[in-house]
Amino acid sequence: MASPLHIKGIRKAFGKGDKTVEVLKKIDIEVGAGEFLILVGPSGCGKSTLLNIIAGLEEPTDGELHIGGKNVIGMAPAQRDIAMVFQSYALYPTMTVADNIGFALEMRKVAPEVRKKRIEEVAAMLQISHLLDRRPAQLSGGQRQRVAMGRALARDPQLFLFDEPLSNLDAKLRVEMRAEIKRLHQLSGITTVYVTHDQIEAMTLGSRIAVMKDGILQQIGTPDEIYRTPANTYVAGFIGSPTMNFIDGRVERAGDSAKFVFQGGSLDLPCPIGQEFTLGQRPEHIHLADDAPWRGEVVLVEPTGADTYVVVKTTAGLMTVRTAANTRIRVGETACLTVSDRHNNWFDKASGQRISL
């Protein structure tokens, strides 16, 4: 059975000759049925361009795009059996919520009684049945976003596309809408591609995450794979909040033993074969110790409720440590640090690529 979405060698370039700018560089992604794929990366990485190519709003310079087993390059958006939710809700202001949801069905000449039933089903799913007679100006931001999703859902497409749909919402509402989108996907089972620059959205929503940078796919995997085994220092630094700690150093061996030596200290850890490396440690894998040789000055203490983050200035750089909420350490005090020997991320110092032991 063909995958609902297969992106094969997609390239996109703008301009000609010396002024050519390549914004997508041979992207290969296969999305399984019912999967929720996140395209994540900073502004300008190419994620929205890729989504627009999937939607048919842009044509690629090279490559193939298969939806439901059919190569759709050159096909109009209306022929691709997709539905898209934009950052701007793009609702018709003079129409009621019911008319906005049912507009695509009306354009397809769906019978009024069938259309009415579908509108009611979608409204119930999105918990907006009581809003069907209102107009967009009478709705909150979260309600408008639900209507935009309802309009897409009413068509029952084989592919659902989201383009940073929560960017216009405040922090509390973003959290609520993330949960709503996840619940919606679980109910509908529609294959979904979701673009965001927010790594928290990526980690909480996606069944798989595709991390992009400068038009290149850096890594694709489950949230756990991306977080625990990042492919390079870019992915390691982009995914996770606070970001991963990095320590540059070298491996010194004496017989069968080895240690990682860095500016101002050393760590006895299982080390890769070679010399120059970058060690990556998540904040939860660096610990405050009573008496450890690796020390630094506390420069910031950030209580977050459930945890407290302590930033320590060491000779190897600033290190962020995740500690218990009741940590008593204060700015200006000396902190002794130790690291887990079971959660090490080793990267080649020159290329930044991950190295496995």
Q: What pLDDT is stored for residue 177 in this prediction?
A: 83
Low-confidence stretches of the chain (pLDDT < 70) are 1-2
> What's the confidence (pLDDT) of residue 181?
86
Return phi, psi of residue 298, to 5°. -70, 120
Q: What confidence score (pLDDT) does residue 65 get?
A: 96
pTM of the complete model: 0.89
pLDDT of residue 281: 96
Which residues are within 8 A (CB) of 256 and not within 5 positions of it... i.e. 6 or more apart?
A: none
**pLDDT at residue 87, rounded to an integer:** 75
Q: What is the DSSP string of 253-292?
A: EETTEEEEEETTEEE-----SSSEEEEEE-GGGEEEESS-
> Hey, what CATH topology would domain 245-355 get?
OB fold (Dihydrolipoamide Acetyltransferase, E2P) (2.40.50)
What residues contact residue 65 under an 8 Å CB cut-off, 6+ apart?
A: 5, 6, 7, 8, 10, 53, 54, 71, 72, 73
In the numeric block, the tokens 């540059």 are attached to 248
Per-residue pLDDT at 80:
92
Would you tell me how many other CB atoms lie within 10 Å of the CB of residue 256? Answer: 5
Q: Is 116 helix (H, G, I), strand (E, B) or coil?
A: helix
The CATH topology of domain 5-238 is Rossmann fold (3.40.50)
Q: State how far the Cα of 332 lies from the Cα of 349, in Å rounded to an integer.
A: 31
Give the pLDDT of residue 220. Answer: 98
How do the domains of the chain map onto residue ranges?
Answer: 5-238, 245-355
Q: What is the pLDDT of residue 188?
A: 86
What pLDDT, on the 0 to 100 scale, is given for residue 126? Answer: 84
pLDDT at residue 25, as a whole number: 96
